[in-house]
Structure formats: structure tokens, C-alpha cells
Amino acid sequence: MAKSREQELANRLETLMTDAFNRSINALKDAGAINTKEMDKCYRGIGSKYYDLVTDQMQNTARSGVPWICELFTKGDGDKK
């Protein structure tokens, strides 16, 4: 798969993962399972301590997963009957 496609895939994965993280945190907070009071002090968007920490980890995960996902599209379809 072309590098530009791999980067596009990584970017989309990051967007999906960010959405999943935020939805999960908010669901846990709403359910009373966690208290995010301290986290909220340093999780205020780009440039804030915890936001950047989380974003870096999601980017690393997405980039490491891209080759694995690309295999699905570059492998022959040997499973077809």
C-alpha cells in the first residue's frame, strides 16, 4: 500500500480512537465509575498535558497497526470458494 494511503489510514484510525476514548471516558464519568476532576485540569485540548499524552499514544497505536490492517487489502483472497 502506498505511503500516502498508509498515512491516511493512520489518520482515520487516530480519529476513531480519539472518539472512542472520549466517549468511553464520558460514559464512565456519567456512570459514576470514575472521577475526572483532576484529569480535566490538564485535559483541555491540543497543548494540554494529558491531551497530548493521550494523543501521542493513540498515534503510536494507529501507526503500529497500519501494516497489520494493510495486510487485509494486499493479501490474496485465498479464502474465497
| Mean pLDDT in consecutive groups of 10 residues from the start of the chain, 81 residues | 84 92 93 92 84 90 90 72 49
Residue whose entry in the numeric block shows the C-alpha cell 479464502: 79
Q: Cell for 54?
A: 493521550
Instruction: Determine the pLDDT at residue 51.
Output: 86
Residue in this structure with the C-alpha cell 503510536, named with its chain if needed: 60
- The pLDDT value recorded for residue 29 is 94
Question: For position 77, what pLDDT does the model report?
Answer: 62
3-state SS assignment for residue 66: helix
Q: Which pLDDT value is given to residue 79?
A: 57
**What SS3 state is found at 65?**
helix
Q: What is the pLDDT of residue 78?
A: 57
Q: In this structure, are residues 64 and 70 in contact, taking their beta carbons and an 8 Å threshold?
A: no
Amino acid 80: pLDDT: 55
